[in-house]
Structure 1
Amino acid sequence: MTSPIAVDEADETAVLAQITEALRSVLDDAELEETPVTRETRFVEDLDLESIDLVTLTGALRERYGDRVDFPAFFASLELSEIIGLTVGRLVDYVAGRLR
């Protein structure tokens, strides 16, 4: 069972830190050191995430946020070009919005 999310965890700075931490479960530390994770970082182009990596990432985030953040619905709402160009900031905004 997922622990409740504290109110301050719903702010964008906290969500960015949590997504960056979840990325560590997908990428090794060397890759993250080469490309710092910011709101402008693109998952595919900058971090070289493949579709299976995105699935792994969303699984780690689902463990963190539980059912309050519906990642399959979020990705289903995006066009392929939007998924390819997806930035960390856009995902942060979505997660933070769902947690409020």
Structure 2
Amino acid sequence: MTTSELPPGAAPLTPPDHKSVPDEKIVLAEIAGLIVTVLGEYAPDPADIRPDTLFGDDLELESIDLVMLSGQLQEWYGDRVNFAEFVAGLEIDEVIALSVGRLVDHVVECLSAGPASTPGPGAVRWS
């Protein structure tokens, strides 16, 4: 999607330089922006995408949308986040019930797993 194809008022997305691990709120905002990019004119307002938002029931993403989201995640986060591998490790009922918060947790975990890096104590996970 080019800047001219973005929904009215949407700013172009520029991948961050994640030298430090972003918190869940930052990753949630980034993923919401990527979802808006994938869904284009059918996207909800990014502010309406919450951790409990379901990819299937709420966003009505189809398999092709998930493939496009996978590509967006790859462009945004690089090799550290592999959406296809993440989904492949889920049971079918988990894929059907996949929430944005679960993807946020996965992304934060992947970004935290740099060399000799482990999640810090007290890390909060979305329910």
Q: What TM-score results when the alignment is normalised by the length of structure 2?
A: 0.70
Instruction: Tell whether the 8 Å contact from 2:35 to 2:43 is kept in structure 1 after alignment.
Output: no
Structure 2 counterpart of 1:37: 49
User: Where in structure 1 do 4 or more consecutive aligned residues deviate above 3 Å?
Assistant: none
Structure 1 counterpart of 2:26: 14
Does 2:49 correspond to 1:57? no
Q: CA deviation at 1:27?
A: 1.3
Does 2:18 correspond to 1:5? yes
Q: Which of these two proteins has the greater Rg computed from alpha carbons?
A: 2
Q: What TM-score results when the alignment is normalised by the length of structure 1?
A: 0.87
Q: 1:26 aligns with which of 27, 38, 48?
A: 38
Distance in 1 (CA, whole Å) between partners of 2:19 and 2:71 is: 20
Q: Once superposed, what is the RMSD of the aligned Cα atoms? A: 2.1
Does 2:90 correspond to 1:90? no
What does the per-residue CA deviation read over 1:11-67, in whole Å, with 9 as the maximum and x for residues that have no partner?
11110011001011111355313x810000000000000011011011101101110
Fraction of identical pairs, as percent: 45
Does 2:92 correspond to 1:80? yes
Higher RCO (Cα < 8 Å, 6 or more apart) = 1
Q: CA deviation at 1:88?
A: 0.2
User: Number of aligned pairs?
Assistant: 98
